[in-house]
Amino acid sequence: MNPLDNLSPRTCNAASFRQRPYGDNRGEEEILNSILKEKQIMKYLGLVAIVLVMLISPVYASIIGDTVHIEWVLIPDFGNVLPSTNAVVVDPGVEWILPPGIGVDSIDIGNGFITLQAGNSGWWSTTFNGFTFTDLTKDANFTSFSLFSATGELPPNMPVLSFSSNMLSVNFGASGSPPTPGEGEGQLYTFAYTTGAAAVPEPATLLLVGAGLAGIGIVRKRISA
C-alpha cells in the first residue's frame, strides 16, 4: 500500500513537504507560525523603510508662517523717512498696508508670489529705490526671483530684481526720472519666487536613521517573542 494514498489534498501543502533539518521535531503548526512571523517582520521592515525615506527626503522650503522684514530702501536717502515692517506671512492675506499718500498702497506675500500695488506716483531714478524682503525665521533658500506680470501706467523701464539665499530685492531706481504726470497710476506688479530644498543638518539625518534602525530591532523582537 502506498503511504501517499492516505494524504488528503488539504494536508498536501508546501509546509507538509518542507525539508526539515535533522533532529527538528516541530509540528506543522509551529512551522506555519514561524513562516507567518517572518512575513510580518518583512512587512514591518518595509513600512519602516518607507517612513525613513519620507523623513530623509528633501523638504522644499516655504516662507508661509515665517516672519519677513519688509523695508523700503532709498539710496542715497533724499531725506525721506521710509517705512519698514516685520510681517508674518499668511496666504491668503495682505502682509503690509502702507500709509496713504506715499506712492505704494500694499504688499502681499503669498506662496511663490509677491504682489505690489502702487498708488499714483512714479519712481524717482536713483541708485536704489525699492523694497527688500528678508526672512527672519530661517534661511528661505531662494533659488529664483522674476517679474511675473505688470499692469497699469508703467514707467519706461521695468524694475531690477536680485536675490540671495535669504533675501529678495526689487529696485525701481532705474525706472524713470523724474516721474511724469500720470505715470504710476494703478501699477500692479506680481513677482514670482522659488525656493530650494530645505537643508537637513547631518546630525538630524543620522538621528533619524538611528531611530529607524532601533525601531526595526524593537519590532523584530516583539514579533519573535
The residue ranges of the chain whose pLDDT is under 50 are: 4, 7, 10-17, 202
Residue where the block lists cell 498708488: 119
Looking at residue 15, what is its pLDDT? 47
Residue 27 one-letter amino acid: G
Q: What is the pTM of this model?
A: 0.62
Per-residue pLDDT tens over the stretch 129-164 = 889 999 999 988 999 999 999 998 887 778 899 999
**What DSSP letter does each residue of 178-213 carry, written as one string?**
SPPTTTTTT-EEEEEEEE-EEPPPHHHHHHHHHHHH
Residues 6+ apart with CB under 8 A from 12: none
What's the grid cell of residue 61? 522650503
- The DSSP letter of residue 17 is T
Per-residue pLDDT tens over the stretch 21-37 = 555 555 667 767 777 77
Looking at residue 71, what is its pLDDT? 93
Residue where the block lists cell 536704489: 128
* Contact of 167 with 133, CB cutoff 8 Å: yes
